[in-house]
Amino acid sequence: MPLREWHSEEYGSHSGEVVATVAGHEVIDCTICGFKHVVPLPSAEKLQSFYEDEFYQNEKENYLSEADEDFTWKQVEMKLRFNVAGQMLKSGGQSLLDIGSGPGDFMAVGQQLGWQCLGVEPSKVACEHTLNRGLKAINGFFDTELAQQLDTFDFIHMSEVLEHVPDPAHLLGTAVELLKPGGVLCVSVPNDFNPLQAQVVEGASRDPWWVVPDHHLNYFDFDSLETLIGNSGLVCQRRLTNFPMELFLLMGQDYTTDPTLGRKLHGWRKSMDIQLANNQETQAALYESLANAGFGRLAIVFATKPMQ
C-alpha cells in the first residue's frame, strides 16, 4: 500500500497508507487523525451548500418517505439506545440534544419516553419535517458559534454525523462541552472496513462499495471511534451495533447493485428486529456481542462524562 501525505491550510497535515481508491478519491488510514478518511478533504464552503440544500432533496430523495415507512422498526433500535443511555446516566435530568437530527425520528421516540428534546439539522427540508411533527429543531450546522447559544444537556446523540464532517474531533469536542457531568454521549457511525466487508471484497475481487467519498469523508470502526471519543475526555462504556448486512452478500444476495433486492432484505432484517424487540435483553445481548467482536453495520458507542 502506498503512503500518502497531504497538507492543506484549512485542514492541516495528514499522512497514512492508501487503503482504497474509488472514483479518483483516495482513503488513507491516517496516523495523525487515528481513523481512515479521504484525501483531499473538500472545502467547508462546498460541504455547507451540499448539506443545507442538496442532501435530502437530491442524494436522499426517497429518504423522508422511506423514513416514515421504517419508523416502526427504527423505534426498536432507538428505544434500546434510550434504555442503555438511561442505565448509565448520572446527571439527574432528561434533556436531549440530537446533533444531525434529520427528520426527527430519534426525538419523536425520546419525547414519547419523557425526554425534553432539541435537534440541530443543517437540511432545511428535514428540519421543516421535524417542526411539522411538533418537535424542536434548529436549522443550521452544529458549530462553536451555535453551541455557545445552547444550554447543557444530559444526553447528546449523534447518529451518522461524524463520517460526513471534515474535522470530527473538533465537532465532538464542541458537543462534549455541552454535556453535563455524569451525562451520556451516544455516537453511531457506519462500521467500515469491517472483517465481513473485507471477506466480501476478497472473495469476489470487488471494489469496497461502502466507500462513498462524496458523502462519507471518514471511515471508522469501533476502535478508532472509541479512541476519538476517549480523546475528547469521555469514558467509553458500551458498544452496540445493528444487523450485519454483509451477511446477505456472503449468501450471494448482492443488494448493493439492486435497490429492489435491497428493500426486500431490509424488510427481512426489520422483521427480525421487530420480533426481538419483545425481549430487549436478548436483542441487546445479540448486538452487543457482535459489536464487541467488531461485527455489525453500525459502530454505536456509549460514553459518559466524568463527574469531575
Out of 20, 27, 33, 67, the only residue in the binding site for Zn ion (CB under 5 A) is: 33
Contact map string, positions 160 to 189, toward Zn ion, x by CB under 5 A: ------------------------------
Is 14 near Zn ion (CB under 5 A)? Answer: yes
Least separation in angstroms between residue 159's CB and Zn ion is 23
Give the nearer residue to Zn ion in terms of CB position, either 36 or 180.
36
How many residues interact with Zn ion (rule CB under 5 A)? 4
Give the nearer residue to Zn ion in terms of CB position, either 30 or 161.
30
Give the nearer residue to Zn ion in terms of CB position, either 13 or 144.
13
Residue 206 grid cell: 470487488
Least separation in angstroms between residue 220's CB and Zn ion is 13
Which range of residues in 26-34, 165-173, 184-192, 238-246 is near Zn ion by CB under 5 A? Answer: 26-34
| Dihedral over alpha carbons 160, 161, 164, 166 (to 10 degrees) | -150
Give the nearer residue to Zn ion in terms of CB position, either 37 or 305.
37
Least separation in angstroms between residue 216's CB and Zn ion is 14
Torsion sign (Cα): 200, 204, 205, 209: negative
Distances (CA, A) of 68 to 11, 98, 217, 281: 37, 18, 27, 26
Residues near Zn ion, by CB under 5 A: 14, 30, 32-33
